[in-house]
Structure 1
């Protein structure tokens, strides 16, 4: 019998998958009869950062408080390393959940020095506690401030002390509620990067709450975009940004341009040419949505007229309304001939044409999205 290329079968072995460090299932919370968290589920592995991103009032902080145990869910379950820590009947108290907390208000004790602030809540022998404090203060580069008091520190330094204090008990999970929003813009990026590196070293599962898309993109391994109490999209930052589920999700991350049209024969006609709309019934109103950086200015046309291009469809004529230099790019707004609307485009470096200049614009099809209106 020829057995070449045949897969040899042996006894079947079932390997248990490692459960996520944190898993929440179908959390629901109401406030004064209104649903503020609506069937939210997510999981976070050790050493990973998941960001709850969304506008104020969408349920991000309430979700965080339920995980911490300071607020009870109406229904749903919370697991840590595969073990139930809270449902509507069983509940482990907050102080026994091995969860660290960081908030916008650093909440350092003004009457305690840096060492005592970091050691607050630590258990064990005095020498062991001191060793842990010094270890963390070296990580956050504040060992030379060990005997100082909070009022001697800058905002960024206080934030790092708060991080060290939250990490001191070696929490399995770290919850962060907009911890960087009170920092100066010049310091924020550096502090965020340092914090992320330390959290990765400590191997904690991190849930970060923010309303800033740039912060979520910079820090998260996964983004859960929330709206009106629900997670509307979840995935890696690149996927959430480049494959938005709807116009609102796309607009949350950047400015957008919108062309309104309708479908005929699976095609949507626009001043920039036809766009494919497969599976959309004839007569359906749709919106073609694209970001300003995906509008191309045709510098070679010089107003000679709209000529078709192979990759960008037809060109449309616009008149410069205003232009501003933003530092690493320029924002140019055009009043479009086809309907008088404003279309935004960004151009790398300095490009500030005078108002009234006529230019032709095309749109990169690969970066456009067709959503039902």
Structure 2
């Protein structure tokens, strides 16, 4: 795909990087007795890409609908480039907000050509709209499908057309609601990479809503982790990976092994071995979340013994199911591709404290 030149018509001499492109301030939204959003605050700098990560029903899509103007918040306010677009006494229409939307179902009109879909709603003369539509299709590599109809497109092509539609009006910001989830794994990765490259090259501010932690890690400058209508932690992918604020946050970004422990005197004792803790005052029962890489599997006699229950080939490596004294359930851990362990063998486990997170309670 060809990069869009950075000619954002909404930027002017008064625009400043000090003014956030988007500010969501204490926003709440209820549906009857259910709080879909509860005191949500979020800010994006111009050109920043943020992933809102969370499970289905946590409020991610509702947040996008409020930013786009498809719904109004019950409390709080939303500002774009410093101007209030939603809040007490203010509800700017969607078409005046300069926000583009890209959905997982593509939202293309089946009875209209690809080019007509991209041109739909564009201002100016018919010739100007056609020229703009063809330019957007060229940017996503689909100028040759301009006169085709959506029903003849592959999933990846349809998603690229949806991207061209969203970018055609030159929005200040793009909102992407699970846009790649309907694609197969190979196509999803390719379209996602192309979309990200286009956004980076054009400098467009974007919010990606996703339930896929790998997608959030790959795509965004920053991740806002949502749960039960609230943003529970926000930061760079590395910050969240290395410093989760809760067991939920640790699980949200990837596989973890959770074991109980007991803290005392700056150390935590677990069935998998002892760990130091940064909080010397922490005492009593704790929960320990371990990235799989934090648990090293060895054949020598140093470490905690574990009996191999099952060995499974997993492509790039081997997966071992292990019984450990003191743990109620077996552990499932990745092992090196050349691991030769067999059921009944005893291996020895040791811990890397850099990939271990201790939580009270």
Fold match, TM over 0.5?
A: yes
User: Equivalent residue of 1:18, what SS?
Assistant: coil
Residue 350 of structure 1: how far off its partner (Å): 4.8
Residue 30 of structure 2 corresponds to residue 42 of structure 1: no
1:156: which partner in 2? 156
**Corresponding residue to 1:366 among 351, 354, 357:** 354
Residue 337 of structure 1: how far off its partner (Å): 2.8
Residue 17 of structure 1: how far off its partner (Å): 5.7
CA contact (8 A) 1:26 1:41 kept: yes
Residue 306 of structure 2 corresponds to residue 322 of structure 1: no
**Corresponding residue to 1:337 among 325, 341, 344:** 325
What is the TM-score when the length of structure 1 is the normalising length? 0.88
- Superposition pairs for residues 228-267 of structure 1, below 5 Å? 228-267=228-267
C-alpha spacing 1:348/1:170, structure 2 compared with 1 (3 Å): farther
1:123: which partner in 2? 123
1:12: which partner in 2? none
Residue 227 of structure 2 corresponds to residue 227 of structure 1: yes
Deviations 1:199-230 (A, max 9, x none): 22332211111111011111111100001111
- Superposition pairs for residues 169-188 of structure 1, below 5 Å? 169-188=169-188
CA contact (8 A) 1:296 1:361 kept: yes
Whole-angstrom CA distance in 1 between matches of 2:47 and 2:315: 35
Whole-angstrom CA distance in 2 between matches of 1:352 and 1:141: 48
1:93: which partner in 2? 93
Deviates more, 1:99-108 or 1:285-294: 285-294
1:4: which partner in 2? none
Deviations 1:251-287 (A, max 9, x none): 1222222221222333322344432335465752112
CA contact (8 A) 1:257 1:289 kept: yes
Deviates more, 1:211-220 or 1:339-348: 339-348
Whole-angstrom CA distance in 1 between matches of 2:62 and 2:282: 43
Whole-angstrom CA distance in 1 between matches of 2:184 and 2:340: 29
1:198: which partner in 2? 198
What is the TM-score when the length of structure 2 is the normalising length? 0.91
1:58: which partner in 2? 58
User: Equivalent residue of 1:162, what SS?
Assistant: helix
Residue 322 of structure 1: how far off its partner (Å): 1.7
1:25: which partner in 2? 25
CA RMSD of aligned residues (A): 1.8
C-alpha spacing 1:286/1:280, structure 2 compared with 1 (3 Å): farther
Residue 329 of structure 1: how far off its partner (Å): 2.7
Which protein has the larger Cα radius of gyration, Structure 1 or Structure 2?
1
1:73: which partner in 2? 73
Whole-angstrom CA distance in 1 between matches of 2:220 and 2:278: 34
User: Equivalent residue of 1:231, what SS?
Assistant: strand
1:347: which partner in 2? 335
CA contact (8 A) 2:72 2:91 kept: no
CA contact (8 A) 1:325 1:351 kept: no
Runs of at least 5 residues in structure 2 that lack an aligned partner in the other structure: 1-15
User: Equivalent residue of 2:251, what SS?
Assistant: helix
CA contact (8 A) 1:323 1:352 kept: no
2:10: which partner in 1? none
Whole-angstrom CA distance in 2 between matches of 1:220 and 1:359: 39
C-alpha spacing 1:348/1:89, structure 2 compared with 1 (3 Å): farther
Residue 352 of structure 1: how far off its partner (Å): 5.7
User: Equivalent residue of 1:27, what SS?
Assistant: strand
